């Protein structure tokens, strides 16, 4: 049971980070998921910076 609740909390936190990146930087949810996979969730400033750089490189 502990594993299920831990996994649910981790998914909820990941979803929260994805939503935050989408709103903050204007990237897509898929791009936000990919950035989180590459960088992790422990470094929000790096996630934000990379999301802005990604968005900028697309335009």
Q: What is the pLDDT of residues 17-38, one digit of tens each?
A: 999 999 999 999 999 999 999 9
Compute the average pLDDT of residues 37-45.
Answer: 92
User: Which pLDDT score is estimated for 56?
Assistant: 87
Q: Look over the chain and give the mean of its residue pLDDT values, rounded to a whole number.
A: 91
The C-alpha atoms of residue 17 and residue 22 are separated, in whole angstroms, by 9
Residue 2 has what pLDDT?
56
All residues at 6 or more sequence positions from 18 whose CB lies less than 8 Å from its CB, including other chains? 29, 32, 33, 36
CA distance 45 to 9: 22
**Residue 39 contacts by C-beta under 8 Å, 6 or more apart in sequence?**
46, 47, 50
């Amino acid at each position: 049971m502990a594993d299920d609740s831990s996994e649910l909390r981790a998914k909820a936190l990941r979803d929260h980070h994805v939503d935050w990146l989408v709103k903050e930087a204007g990237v897509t949810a898929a791009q936000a998921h990919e950035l989180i996979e590459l960088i992790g969730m422990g470094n929000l400033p790096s996630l934000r910076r990379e999301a802005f750089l990604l968005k900028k490189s697309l335009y």
